[in-house]
Amino acid sequence: MQRNLEAMHSRMQRLGVALRPHLKTAKSADIARLVTQGQAGGVTVSTLAEAEYFHASGFKDILYAVGILPAKLDRVDALAKSGADIKLVSDSLDTVKAIAERSPDSALPFKILIEVDSGEGRAGVLADDPVFLEMARVINDASNMKLMGVMTHAGHSYGCETVDAIKDVAAQERERITSAAERLRENDLPCPIVSAGSTPTAVHAENLDGVTEMRPGVFVFNDLKQLAVGSCAREDLALSVLASVIGQNKHKGHLILDSGALALSKDISAHDEHPEVGYGEVCHADTLEPFEGLYVGAVSQEHGIVPVDNPDAFDRLPVGTQVRILPNHACITAAGYSHYEVLENGRITAQWDRVNGW
Amino acid sequence: MQRNLEAMHSRMQRLGVALRPHLKTAKSADIARLVTQGQAGGVTVSTLAEAEYFHASGFKDILYAVGILPAKLDRVDALAKSGADIKLVSDSLDTVKAIAERSPDSALPFKILIEVDSGEGRAGVLADDPVFLEMARVINDASNMKLMGVMTHAGHSYGCETVDAIKDVAAQERERITSAAERLRENDLPCPIVSAGSTPTAVHAENLDGVTEMRPGVFVFNDLKQLAVGSCAREDLALSVLASVIGQNKHKGHLILDSGALALSKDISAHDEHPEVGYGEVCHADTLEPFEGLYVGAVSQEHGIVPVDNPDAFDRLPVGTQVRILPNHACITAAGYSHYEVLENGRITAQWDRVNGW
């Protein structure tokens, strides 16, 4: 994990952009302190619960990167009043109009970035849609809002099959978000922040001119999905689930682990590239070397089923054996836990807590 | 929910078996008190964290229904010493041999049920496998174990396509577990408990002679999977996720909700029967009537994407609209939450906490 953080810092420095790490992956103040070490400290969150937790843990500059709703502004306002420099995003003209009409009892103007679709097609307006400029003007004209710029998330980088394809998505992400920024400036609208990023595009972008900050998240841990799309190497996988063999079903030909849907999640996102990883790869607990051909093929709530083709596996993994499971998607798997056990040189040296919920 | 509890009580009474509800679904002491109202109070759990939490909440007779490991016995022993009547399951000869060799520092013998495979093929030994009797003798002969009987879980009832098919699985479950019990008794081995059950088999079993207790779990809430297999009616769905429309992506043709993979889970188990429900059905927040044709088609961590075929949906569900999502699998969805908001006659009347983790 420490290597992953350092590599991302170096890359962002080399490309001349700030790293505003997305803390939705780790949701841990201990990890947030490591990932922001030696830099300004702006962070990204995916829930207001994260914003409140990280602010209470000493983080001030927080971008809440999921579209805001007027109904959620009381919590934002409370954070701002207690000293947080919280930034919001929206892709909705209706939302910013509703905020503009809100009674002005908040201490500070709400700081808004307009979310732009850079090709993912999830959230975000298109910068050439008239709605984009209209939103910008509503925000800029309102006394209770401040236009902070534009943001995007090139989530379609997760669907890439080659590093060249990721580089293309990264170039598209940069082009779309800097065009959006340019459109604001051409219209005499402010755009101090030009925010982009996903782990694959942050790892493979060759040019980030015009982008002011990147928001990768899962790079902290990486996972089988990131390995499959080419964002990391196997030795960069920093999160695993410790499990035990609790049964050997010889009449059906499988091992039973005490890690099921809640311990691993039901995320199978690495299946696009590698269906053979199932719900996770089964590895030696100490070395993280994979047991050749062993993966969690099915899960129920607390059971993980590992199909056994070669009966040798029953000898190699007797009941009681501890194994480590590498998950498909670290963000989703980690969300099942209240804390991390920190493994350093083969020993657990600390527990780091997490914030869950909303 | 209250109706679901009462219906299951009546069924179990009519069939002459005790209800030992599986609390892994709700993981809530408040709900456990309602579900055990007016009966002996034996319960089932899926983790030692649940066992500890429910014991601390006043429950004494607890069956931990996931295969035990010797490494976990210290926690079991601590529970027993503090007054819990905790029962364990195993399908592993190696495990019971290892327990027999454990130094006898525990206050009480470990109470063990042998897990039998009644056709699911997940965990459990076959009752006609010589290992079954050998396990029973090891347990019965050991001074630190007590043979309490047999248990099974007919999880293959979830794969049924008709009620008749569920009735067949229920008959098979009963036949297999009572045969296993008979085999113990024929060999002068004790078998006071004959434990079976899943929600579909508990709802549709016509005869439970010889079974002493049933352990359904998800019947408390039900979900789209149980609806699909025929274990419940639509009006029995008692768990939903309250979400808001946070965006309207008109250029891609979808609504964006603030409920994604963490709020709903990535469980899509109702897809076997109904792929059109996606990650959950979108319903009116007040009435739970479905919005015709609207479902969560894709999720990322905090975003739910609702495809819109008929643009009327953009008018009917403006940004800010609250909706309720009916999940595929209540046990997995509920696990993302620290508590429940209790809805009674359209008003939130209480918060009920949950235990998560292990």
The reported pLDDT for the residue numbered A40 is 62
Question: Looking at CA atoms only, how far is residue B255 from chain A in angstroms?
Answer: 9
Q: Which two tokens stand for residue A119?
A: 């090709």
Q: Using the CB atoms, write b or e for B48-86: b if 16+ within 10 Å.
A: bbbbbbbbeeebebbbbbbbbbbebbeebbebbeeebeb
Interface of B with A in 30-59 (CB under 8 A): 46-47
Nearest chain A residue to B247 by CA: give it.
Answer: A92
Least Cα distance to B331 among B208, B155, B163, B90 occurs for B155
Q: Which residue, A269, A215, A182, is CA-closest to A25? A: A215
Sort out which chain A residues have CB atoms less than 8 A from B67's CB and list them.
Answer: 246-247, 256, 258
Interface of B with A in 6-35 (CB under 8 A): 24
Which single residue is written with the structure tokens 């910068």? Answer: A127
Q: pLDDT, tens digit, for every residue of B170-213?
A: 999 999 999 999 999 999 999 999 999 999 999 999 999 999 99
- Quick one: how far is CA A222 from the chain centroid? 10
Asked if A302 reaches chain B (Cβ–Cβ under 8 Å), the answer is: yes
Q: In terms of DSSP bridges, do strands A61-64 and A85-90 run parallel, antiparallel, or are they unpaired?
A: parallel
Report the distance separating Cα B95 and Cα B92, nearest Å: 5
Residue B40 has pLDDT above 70, yes or no: no
C-alpha distances (whole Å) from A23 to each of A9, A41, B226 are 15, 12, 36
pLDDT score for A107: 64
For residue A153, what are the contacts with CB-CB under 8 A and spacing of at least 6? A65, A118, A120, A122, A123, A124, A196, A197, A198, A215
Measured in Å, how far apart are chain A's first and last C-alpha atoms? 26
Give A-chain residues touching B323 at CB under 8 angstroms.
none
- Residue A231 CA neighbour count, 13 Å, CB half: 31
Q: How many CA atoms lie within 13 A of B273 on its CB side?
A: 15
CB-defined contacts A:B, below 8 A = 148
What residue ranges define each of the domains in chain A, with the CATH number in brackets?
A: 2-220 (3.20.20.10), 240-326 (2.40.37.20)
Q: Among candidates B154, B103, B334, which has minimal Cα distance to A336?
A: B334
- Cα–Cα distance, B57 to B36 (Å, whole number): 13
Measuring CA to CA, which residue among B16, B45, B20 is closest to residue B211?
A: B16
Contact A24 B332 (CB under 8 A): no
Asked whether the beta carbons of residue A46 and residue B302 sit closer than 8 angstroms, the reply is yes
Return the amino acid letter for B326.
L
Question: Are B356 and B27 a contacting pair, CB within 8 Å?
Answer: yes
CA B19 to chain centre: 13
Of B117, B124, B261, the CB nearest to A267: B261
Give the model's pLDDT for residue A279: 97
Q: Which of A293, A294, A280 is nearest to A237 (CA)?
A: A280
**Is the pLDDT confidence value at B349 over 70?**
yes
List the end-to-end C-alpha distance of chain B, in Å, as a whole number.
Answer: 26
Q: Please report the pLDDT score of residue B94 as a whole number.
A: 97
Element (H, E) at A55: helix A48-56
Q: Please, what is the average pLDDT of chain A?
A: 96
Residue A71 CA from chain centroid, whole number:
25
> In this predicted structure, what is the pLDDT of residue A213?
97
Q: Which of A122, A152, A272 would best serve as a mutation to test chain B binding (most B beta carbons within 10 A)?
A: A122
Q: How far apart are CA B157 and CA B39, in angstroms?
A: 26
Query: How many angstroms separate the CA atoms of A87 and A146, rounded?
Result: 10
Quick check: B281 contacting A, CB < 8 Å? no
In degrees and rounded to multiples of 5, residue A128 shows phi and psi of: -95, 5
With an 8 Å Cβ cutoff, are A122 and B300 in contact? yes
Residues 6 or more apart whose Cβ sits within 8 Å of residue B226: B199, B200, B218, B219, B232
Contacts of A338 in chain B (CB under 8 A): 356-357
* Interface test mutation site (partner A, options B92, B93, B157, max chain A beta carbons within 10 A): B92
Q: Are B37 and B13 in contact (CB under 8 A)?
A: no
Closest residue by Cα to residue A278 from A245, A306, A237:
A306
3-state secondary structure B84-95: CEEEEEECCHHH
> What is the DSSP annotation of B157-203?
GGG-SSHHHHHHHHHHHHHHHHHHHHHHHHTT----EEEE--HHHHH
- Cα B181 to Cα B197: distance, rounded to the nearest angstrom: 15
Which of A252, A258, A357 is nearest residue B337 as measured by Cβ atoms?
A357
Cα–Cα dist A24/A47, whole Å: 8
How far away is chain B from the Cα of A248, in angstroms, using its nearest Cα?
7
**Integer CA distances (angstroms), A52 to A58, A337, B78, in order:** 10, 19, 37
Under DSSP, the state recorded for B329 is -
Flag if B69 and A358 touch (Cβ within 8 Å). Answer: no
Tell me if residue A136 falls in helix, strand or coil.
helix
CA distances from A40 to A158, A197, B53, B279 (A): 28, 18, 42, 39
Are B185 and B150 within 8 A, CB to CB?
no
Task: Say what the pLDDT of residue B106 is.
Answer: 67
Q: Please give the pLDDT value at position A275.
A: 87
Q: State how far the Cα of B321 lies from the Cα of B67, in Å rounded to an integer.
A: 45
When pLDDT is averaged across residues B265-277 and rounded to a whole number, the result is 92
User: Nearest-CA residue of chain A relative to B329?
Assistant: A301
Greater model confidence, A107 or B26:
B26
Q: Can you tell me the distance from the alpha carbon of B46 to that of A276, in angstroms, rounded to the nearest whole number?
A: 28
Q: Do A117 and B251 touch (CB under 8 A)?
A: yes
Report the candidate in A242, A195, A200 with the shortest Cα–Cα distance to residue A218: A200
Is the dihedral angle over the CA atoms A93, A98, A104, A110 positive or is it negative?
negative
Q: What is the pLDDT of residue B264?
A: 98
Residue B159, C-beta contacts closer than 8 angstroms, at least 6 positions apart: B229, B272
pLDDT (0 to 100) of residue B107: 64
In degrees rounded to 5, what are phi and psi of residue B200?
-60, -40
pLDDT lower than 70: segments of chain A: 40-41, 104-107
Amino acid identity of residue A313, one-letter, is A
Helix or strand (DSSP H, E) at B129? none
Kindly tell me the sign of the dihedral angle through the C-alpha atoms of B346, B348, B354, B356.
Answer: positive
